[in-house]
Chains A and B, each alone.
Chain A
Amino acid sequence: MNAEIGAKAEFELKDIAPVIEEILLSGGEFRFFPRGRSMLPLIRQGVDSVLLVPMDDAVNRFDILLYKRDNGMYVMHRIYKISDDGTYVMCGDNQTVYENGIRKEQLIGKVRAVYRKNKELRMDSVSQKFYMLLWRTKFVRGCCLFVYRAFRKIGSLFRVSK
């Protein structure tokens, strides 16, 4: 077939981000399957997709944002904190190291929802608020990530031994 309509849009962020930026600047929205591990366990590569929408004035703590670093690299991480000077402290869900000093003009878009198969997880849902409650404390996040990674490792051992 010459055209695959509704194909699975699975791309490295560095490749697809310029197109996403173009879509969001036009006021549009875009759903795709991000590659990478930094937003685990919320966003699993090849399994979960995200719906990105343009930035609006309401930027809140714990929003997941697409932004562009000064070196041109595109990143999709969560706001850990809004600093007194108005810049953002960002961090991936699967990370414990913070990135400081992200400015408003670097922000490109916001994740409105994550899709697991066809189930929509809205970022303002009760389950997500509970998830963020666990995530907001570095110690709790570290413990949760330790348990999550241990389970994944055990799971992968079973998959190999089948």
Chain B
Amino acid sequence: MKIKEGFILRDVAGQTIVVAVGKMSKNFNRIIKLNSTGKFIWEKLSSDIERDELVASLVAEYDIDEATASSDADKFIEALKGADILEC
């Protein structure tokens, strides 16, 4: 799975945000605010990645247990799917 084309991630006034560009912005003209973990997951999902691979990268990066990483990854993925931002 990966994030659809047409989104850019930028740091604005100390916040990490994602906005849509081009045609994508006609359907999505608001913003997504990300915390540092969200930014990490977003960057991972910018390339095609499997869920288990994403969970493993979270465990390695943040030194957290697999259950916590799985929960974080699943919530994030569900939120993106709900907004029709993710292609599987």
Of B13, B25, B34, which is in contact with the most chain A CB atoms at under 10 Å from its CB? Answer: B25
Q: Is the interface of A mostly helix, strand, loop or mixed?
A: mixed
Give the residues in chain B near A4, CB-CB below 8 Å. 32-34
B8 at the interface (CB under 8 A from A): yes
Given contacts A9-B31, A22-B8, A23-B19, contact A3 B38 (CB under 8 A): yes
- A11 to nearest B CB, angstroms? 6
**Per-position binary interface string of chain A over residues 14-27, scored 1 when its CB falls under 8 Å from any chain B CB and 0 otherwise:** 01100100110011
Q: Is B55 an interface residue (CB 8 A)?
A: no
Separation in Å of the B7 CB from the closest CB of chain A? 11
Q: Is A2 an interface residue (CB 8 A)?
A: yes
The minimal Cβ–Cβ distance linking A33 to chain B, given in whole angstroms, is 10
Tell me the complex Cα distance, A15–B12, Å: 6
* Chain B residues engaging chain A, CB cutoff 8 angstroms: 8, 10, 12-13, 17, 19-26, 29-35, 37-38, 41-42, 72, 75-76, 79-80, 82-83, 85
Interface residues of A (CB under 8 A from B): 1-7, 9, 11-12, 15-16, 19, 22-23, 26-32, 51
